[in-house]
Structure 1
Amino acid sequence: MKTVDDAVWFKSSYSNGNGNCVEVAYLGDAVAMRDSKQHGTGPVLTNTAEGWRSFIASVANGEFGEL
């Protein structure tokens, strides 16, 4: 399995370039997330791939309110 040190980070295609974005990296069976303003100096959250899919589905279904 890849580690965070091996991660290839990307931003959403919806990013508007203002620096307020989340970056995501796929690590095999896990997904890592970080604040793009930190560029590797801040904390990294990881979750299982299934947990990530569930989170994205919840956001898409509006379960966290209006964004």
Structure 2
Amino acid sequence: MTEQNDLAHDEDGWFVSSFTNGNASCVQVKFTGQGTVLVRDSKDRAASPIIGMPSTGWASLLNGINGKSA
């Protein structure tokens, strides 16, 4: 994972999980279409650093959170 501060903080394509139920304490995710997944804090989108990772890393992260092996 690398911090991507130089990536544009545009609003196109970002989403939050439907499981957040309006909770302000969540992250936003964006799939770039180039094999990279971007993640940022939803509370301060303009100043939040953007973390970028390969889509395979994103899948591993989600599997780890859900207690599944890769």
TM bucket normalised to smaller: 0.7 to 0.9
Higher relative contact order structure (alpha carbons within 8 Å, sequence separation ≥ 6): 2
Q: Percent identity?
A: 36
Number of positions where the alignment pairs a residue of Structure 1 with one of Structure 2: 60
Match of 1:19 in 2: 24
TM-score (norm 1): 0.77
What 5-or-longer segments of structure 1 have no aligned partner? 63-67
The Cα RMSD (Å) is 1.9
Stretches of 4+ aligned residues off by more than 4 angstroms: none
The TM-score with structure 2 as length reference comes to 0.74
> What residue in structure 1 maps to residue 14 of structure 2?
9
Which residues of structure 2 form unaligned runs of 5+? Answer: 1-6
